[in-house]
């Protein structure tokens, strides 16, 4: 055997070299693969540890949120029960505003009713301006004043017609002169309110008494 190595030194060296290279490669391959495996294992273990930490933190946060929610409910309950608390005051203010609005509406309705009643029972009144040559005639009672002359002393000669009576001629009638008459079981007053000589204008009024 030794003779073969001696006779084939080159082959022996080559064979030995190849054997060493193969052994080295095999050892390196397995060592590298094992290192990768160990690295992967370490990463997985680390990720699991991180996940466990996150899960623990989430659990703590959920517990705190639940506690805060319970405290908030309790605080709202206390504030609602406390007459001096803001929520309680807001509720009272809303109730008072509703009552005030209702009272205001009732008052408006009352005023409207009173105003309607006043309008309904308001005494009859009618007035009109006219000039000499025209006549004043009340559209309800037909009481009439006709003017024939206006004097410089602010008096007038008139023809007066009142319901239920004959026409009457009156002279030197002054502003403010009035006549009372009956019409449909009510009393009315006809008044000569104004006499103006310069403009030959007059004003008369009929009012229910």
Map out the domains of the chain as residue ranges. 2-58, 82-119, 125-208
Count CB atoms within 10 A of the CB of residue 128: 17
Going by pLDDT thresholds of 50, 70 and 90, the confidence category of residue 115 is low
Q: What number is the average pLDDT over the span 183-193?
A: 95
- Mean pLDDT score across all residues of the chain: 79
The three-state secondary structure class of 184 is: coil
Model pTM score: 0.44
| Per-residue pLDDT tens over the stretch 85-113 | 566 666 677 777 777 777 777 677 777 66
199 vs 86, which has greater pLDDT? 199
170 vs 105, which has greater pLDDT? 170
Residue 37 has pLDDT above 90, yes or no: no
């Amino acid at each position: 055997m030794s003779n073969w190595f001696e006779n084939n030194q080159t082959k022996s060296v080559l064979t030995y070299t190849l054997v060493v290279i193969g052994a080295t490669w095999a050892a390196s391959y397995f060592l590298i693969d094992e290192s990768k495996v160990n690295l992967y294992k370490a990463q997985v273990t680390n990720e699991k540890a991180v996940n466990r930490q996150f899960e623990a933190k989430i659990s703590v946060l959920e517990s705190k949120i639940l506690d805060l929610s319970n405290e908030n409910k309790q605080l709202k309950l206390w504030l609602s029960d406390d007459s001096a608390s803001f929520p309680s005051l807001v509720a009272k203010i809303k109730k008072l505003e509703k009552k005030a609005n209702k009272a205001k509406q009732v008052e408006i309705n009352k005023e409207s009713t009173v105003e309607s009643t006043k309008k309904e029972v308001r005494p009859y009144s009618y007035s009109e301006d006219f000039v000499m040559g025209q006549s004043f005639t009340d559209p309800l009672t037909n009481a009439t004043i006709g003017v024939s002359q206006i004097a410089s002393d602010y008096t007038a000669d008139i023809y007066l017609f009142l319901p239920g009576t004959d026409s009457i001629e009156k002279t030197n009638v002054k502003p403010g002169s009035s006549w009372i008459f009956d019409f449909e079981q009510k009393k009315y007053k006809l008044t000569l309110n104004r006499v103006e000589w310069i403009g030959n204008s007059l004003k008369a009024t009929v009012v229910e008494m």
